[in-house]
Every structure is written in C-alpha cells, then in structure tokens.
Amino acid sequence: LFLSLYVDDILLASSSKDEIFIIKGKLNFEFKMKDIDVVKRILGMYIVRNKSEGELFLSQYGYIQKVVERFRMHKSKLVSTPLGHLTKLSIAKAPSTKKEKREMCFIPYISGVGSIMYGMVCSRPDLAYAINIVSQLLLWGMLMQTM
C-alpha cells in the first residue's frame, strides 16, 4: 500500500482494492473526505493508466506548457533529448562585454532552470543531467559577476 499525502490531498495506491477500501473506511471515520474512485489528476499532475499493461504514467504537460509560455519559449525548436551527449556548454560562451553582461541581467535563467528542475523532480528524471550541467554554469557565472 502506498499513501501519498500533501496538505489535504491523499492518494492511495495498492494492488489490493480491499486494502484500499479498508484504509478509506478508517480515514473516512476520522475525517470528512470526498472520494474520487479513480484519480486522474493530483497536484497539477495527470495520472495516465494503461490498465491492460498494468502501467501508470505521470504527466506534467500543463505545468510544462505554462513554463514554456512564461519564459517565451513557445517558438523554440523541439528536440528529442534534453541535452545531446555531444553538446558542449562552456563558460567561454558566456557574455564577455559589459553590454552583453548588462543585457543578461534581465534574463531570468535561474528561475527558468528552477522551474524545469521542479518538473524533473516530479516526473522527468531524464532532465537531471542537463539541469546538472546548466546549474554548474549558472553558479560559475554568478561567481564571476561577484569577483
């Protein structure tokens, strides 16, 4: 049995419907609850079931769409991998002139990386490597600006 609790949202998952029924009964005895038989969404994530294969998937499509729009990336080129294995990011490609550095101050990269990191933690572990590399460069850039 898995019980996931966040503030006033509870998600129960088990291979045994009887076990879920017993736990729901005990919780319902103590607390006023609204029962949603088959959950399709929790905490902004969609739960997609493939019952014939016994699979569950989490989707944060709506959240990712909001992030894309907030950072005006809706016209960006789509890629199949978060960061290609041959992609080389380098601090050498960072802005070097005062004008470039001043312009970069108005671009919320740290907020963007943090927004993507939330998606990674919840449902996209495939983003971990790319976020790790980008985060290192963000830190290096901040250190260089303070020196």
DSSP H or E segment with residue 135: helix 128-146
SS3 5: strand
Q: Are residues 44 and 74 in the same domain?
A: no
Q: What pLDDT is stored for residue 141 in this prediction?
A: 56
- Asked if the model's pLDDT at residue 69 lies above 80, the reply is yes
Helical packing angle, 61-70 and 109-123, nearest 10°? 170
Q: Are residues 79 and 136 in the same domain?
A: yes
Q: Are residues 41 and 66 in the same domain?
A: no
Q: Looking at the chain, how many residues does it have?
A: 147
pLDDT-derived band at 106 (thresholds 50, 70, 90) equals confident
Reported as a single tens digit per residue, the pLDDT across 3-36 is 888 888 888 888 898 999 999 999 999 999 888 8
Q: Are residues 132 and 105 in the same domain?
A: yes
* CB atoms inside a 10 Å sphere around CB 120: 19
Q: State the pairing for strand pair 9-13/41-42.
A: unpaired
Whole-number Å distance between alpha carbons of 113 and 80: 18
Domain that residue 6 falls in: 2-59
Q: Are residues 35 and 86 in the same domain?
A: no
| pTM exceeding the 0.75 threshold for the entire prediction | no
Mean pLDDT score across all residues of the chain? 83
pLDDT-derived band at 146 (thresholds 50, 70, 90) equals very low
Q: Are residues 67 and 113 in the same domain?
A: yes
